[in-house]
Amino acid sequence: MFGRKSVIVIFLMSEIAAASREVLLRNARKGRLPHGILLSGPDLACLEETAYSLAGEILKNPAKGTGEFSHPDLYHLRPTGRLRQISADDTRGLIKNLFQTAFGENGKVAMVHEADCFHQSSSNIFLKTLEEPPAGTYIILLSTRPYSLLATIRSRCLFFRLPGQEEEHQDAESEAWLEDFRQFLQSAGEPVQKSADLAPTLMQAYGLVVRFGEVLQKQVANLKGEAKDLGPDDEEAQKAWEKLMEIEARQKLLRQVADHCLAFARQSDGPNGHQIPLQPLRETIQEIERANYLLQSNLQAAVAIEQVLLTALRSWALYNR
């Protein structure tokens, strides 16, 4: 059973998601959408519903995008196979279709489902078309793990995040770690007079590094437990599925770290009044993205988060001098 607080949170998340979709749809009706759109959020079904609504507006579909529909100018790209990857061949097939003449007068729409499942080779193939899409073409990428995508792909899209209720459910260890991270940011943002003043903040960083791996392992275990009945029976596919669970947990935790950085920046009262201090925020977020990329190369989680914390400490300390 949901408690009263949980019901309120779910309601608010639903309202925010609805408002976010309406912003996109309003711009679609006015013809103001960019050619690359990245929809992210924890609920893939919600992302697909929004994508179909957008496609319906763009293609002037009679169904008005209220659900799934077929259209000769609507194309799909999905992960396939036991490893659930978007292959290079399927990517080339989509690109070939996009460069053909549209059947109607409203252009073409491509929906890339679970875009975080791109194989590296297919990502590189896809990137060129995203950089220079055919005239009248709109590409909508859907991802629950947007930071698994190449940074160059993300940078060429309107990055639109739709919230979901499951983001509010966390284990106690994660909540405690994130609260300590918020306090670390507060300490890092305090002006320092001498090097000794940094000692307590450095000890905070050390404690966060030590605990990060444990928190990550707990989140992985939770995700596997929630989805234990959904895993494949094949041994090879099972290993790939478990790897996806690990990636999902890491993405979720790093996303929360980034969200805490943004919240802290919004609350900071720096030299320019109440304006968001973009430079330290940008440097910290970039280091979070870099850490996520390096973690895919088997870098230890503690090393990755240590770099994030040191970058945050340096960036915010310099900003407040």
Higher pLDDT, 228 or 259: 259
Residue 122: both structure tokens together: 């297919």
How far apart CA 151 and CA 168 sit, in angstroms, is 27
What is the CATH architecture of 4-166? Answer: 3-Layer(aba) Sandwich (3.40)
Query: For the segment 9-21, what is each residue's pLDDT rounded down to a tens digit?
Result: 333 344 444 556 7
Of the candidate ranges 77-81, 103-107, 236-240, the one whose mean pLDDT is the lowest: 236-240
Give the per-residue pLDDT at 144: 83
Domain ranges of the chain: 4-166, 170-319
Give the per-residue pLDDT at 233: 60
Q: What average pLDDT does the structure give for the chain?
A: 77
Quick one: average pLDDT of 168-191? 76
Give the per-residue pLDDT at 129: 93
| Contact between 167 and 246 (Cβ < 8 Å) | no
Give the per-residue pLDDT at 78: 93
How far apart CA 209 and CA 76 sit, in angstroms, is 41
Residue 309, CA distances (Å) to 25, 37, 67, 178 in order: 38, 31, 44, 13
Query: For the segment 64-73, what is each residue's pLDDT rounded down to a tens digit?
Result: 545 678 899 9
The residue type at 191:
P
Give the per-residue pLDDT at 100: 93
Quick one: average pLDDT of 100-118? 91
How far apart CA 180 and CA 212 sit, in angstroms, is 11
Work out the angle between the directed axes of helices 88-98 and 120-131 (0-180°, nearest 10).
Answer: 20
Q: Report residue 179's pLDDT band, with 50, 70 and 90 as the boundaries.
A: confident
The answer to whether the Cα torsion of 26, 9, 2, 48 is positive or negative is positive
Q: Where are the alpha helices (DSSP H) in the chain?
A: 4-29, 44-59, 88-98, 120-131, 151-155, 172-188, 199-226, 235-267, 278-295, 301-319
- Is the pLDDT reported for residue 259 higher than 60? yes
Query: For the segment 203-225, what is each residue's pLDDT rounded down to a tens digit?
Result: 888 888 888 888 888 877 776 66
- Is the pLDDT reported for residue 4 higher than 60? no
